[in-house]
Structure 1
Amino acid sequence: MTTLSFEFFPTKTEEGTEKLLTVRDELAAFNPEFFSVTYGAGGSTRDRTYAIVKAIQERGIAAAPHLACIGGSKEEIRGILKQYQDLGIDRIVALRGDLPSGSGLAGSELRYANDLVEFIREETGDHFTLEVAAYPEMHPQASNFEKDLENFVRKVKAGADSAITQYFFNADSYFHFVDRVRAMGVDTPVIPGIMPITNYSKLARFSDGCGAEIPRWIRKQLEAYGDDSESIVKFGEEVVTDMCRRLLDGGAPGLHFYTMNQSEASLAVWKNLI
């Protein structure tokens, strides 16, 4: 069975939250397995993440908050886990997290995602289904691809149940990554993260920062459209749909859409597939 899930980020205003809850309802009509909610660098959006998670859960939909270990003590993380247990949350996306500007790993009791996964298991047993991140094109801060694969295997062996990838636009990178980790003894589901294409300049800037490659032929076509947003959206839908179809035909267990708090582009792709 193909799983479907969506990601939100915490909004900064009441108006933004109201809009997000409308998007939540539009996406909920397609029976996703869960909605994940991101967590800012150093825990900067902790309260807002909790508020969105609570609003999703109250709607009767499974919510999966991101939880990062950078910038938080064990005691703080223990308290957050208790909050989520009390709320009825049973799934967490466990991450190292982005380093706050000007900060490093020094001072963090849990320095890496595998440390966080291990800590959650020690504190809560099997209460939570734990998702971890995977990077088919390598984490931007990894020293090399082999080390990054070893880091992923370490997270899984610490107790992760499944993984969600960074987005990509080359299906071969996903299949290569899965083949490599299978050869390393990992049979955990790896769910492709999907980023709809709606705005080229924003996508290019974001992709350059997180290490996601936009293939040259896609870049050039998007550049050629200039300010023609309608053509960009149409082309993006075709490209992402074709890739998703290939991923699912090739055995991917589901799709996780990075919605950017919008429903239209993700649903357009999903409707093309069902």
Structure 2
Amino acid sequence: MEFYLSKKNFLKIINLKKNINIKIKFITITYNNFKLNKKIINYFLKKKKKILPHIICKNNIKNFNYLINMYYINNIKNLMIIKGDEKISNFYYCYNFLNIIKNNYKNLFKIYLGLYAEFHQNNLNNIFDFKNNIIKKNIFLKSIFISQYIYDFNSYCYFYDDLSKIKKNIKIIPGIMPINNLKKVISFSNICKSNLPVWLVKKLSNNFFKKKNFNKINIEINCNIIYKMNKFKINFIHFYTMNNTKLINNIFSFLINNFNF
């Protein structure tokens, strides 16, 4: 489950967190400012929750070492490393960070990596690039992968099949993101060349100004994807909450009432 952290919504997240009725395996935090993260990290740690702060591959080596050291000192031993969306950065690929962690921290951290089940905006050769990284950088194989959101389950199946041909038993946790803002999802999906089914866009667009209908359809769409994932023997799902835990709870209530979860 992912939260976006900022100075404005810090208290809001804590209040929302109290309303979550589902079992959470871990919480990822997107904001990269350690001083701000520390408050909510300590809050979740007291609740005995597993925390995965994001580290984006755009930091210079000084900032990167600072973040790693601070997280280690504060007993954070799980990290989620993502490439980010910038074309030019000090560490363009995740394995730049992974090598530093491997060399300087040995096996002190458990690493999670972000990936796209379809395409990243800067890389349309998704599988080819992933295959090269796995072959050249074996440290990838020790990591757990968390995918970006998907709305077409077939896309995930094709991606998983391709990865299985490269390496068996790769651990991938698929991402689910309820649609809070349809226009932003359409825009981001176009940038990343992600498959956003036409029927989904039409169905939500037709009910855009009918909040009750929009939320109901939104829940049904995500629940159908989760149901298919469950049939595919996927045991864990990463929710991009957009800080809307009420909607996440509604999704799980729907699953329990309609799919016998």
Per-residue deviation at 1:114? 1.4
Q: Secondary structure at the match of 1:188?
A: coil
Q: Percent identity at matched positions? A: 22
* 1:60 corresponds to which of 41, 48, 52: 48
Tell me which residue corresponds to 2:116: 135
Per-residue deviation at 1:251? 1.9
Per-residue deviation at 1:186? 4.4
Q: Give the Cα–Cα distance (whole angstroms) in 1 for the partners of residues 136 and 118 of structure 2.
A: 17
1:35 equivalent to 2:27? Answer yes
Change (3 A) 1:190 1:138: same
* Amino acid paired to 1:31: K
Tell me which residue corresponds to 2:6: 11
* 1:260 corresponds to which of 206, 226, 242: 242
Normalising by structure 2, we get a TM-score of 0.88
Q: Would you say how many aligned residue pairs link Structure 1 and Structure 2?
A: 255
Q: Is the 1:37–1:52 Cα contact (8 Å) retained in structure 2?
A: no
Tell me which residue corresponds to 2:258: none
1:219 equivalent to 2:201? Answer yes
* Amino acid paired to 2:179: I
Output aligned runs, 1:175-194, within 5 Å: 175-194=157-176
Unaligned runs of 5+ in 1: 1-5
1:83 equivalent to 2:70? Answer yes
Per-residue deviation at 1:68? 1.7
Per-residue deviation at 1:94? 1.1
Q: Secondary structure at the match of 1:234?
A: helix
Normalising by structure 1, we get a TM-score of 0.84
Q: Give the Cα–Cα distance (whole angstroms) in 2 for the partners of residues 248 and 151 of structure 1.
A: 30
1:242 equivalent to 2:187? Answer no
* Amino acid paired to 2:76: I
Residue deviations 1:79-111 (CA, integer Å, cap 9, x gap): 211211121112110122232xxx723xx1x33
RMSD over equivalenced CA pairs, Å: 2.2
Residue deviations 1:181-237 (CA, integer Å, cap 9, x gap): 111014221011000124323332343344433200101111111311211110010
1:163 equivalent to 2:151? Answer no
1:104 equivalent to 2:88? Answer yes
Per-residue deviation at 1:241? 0.1
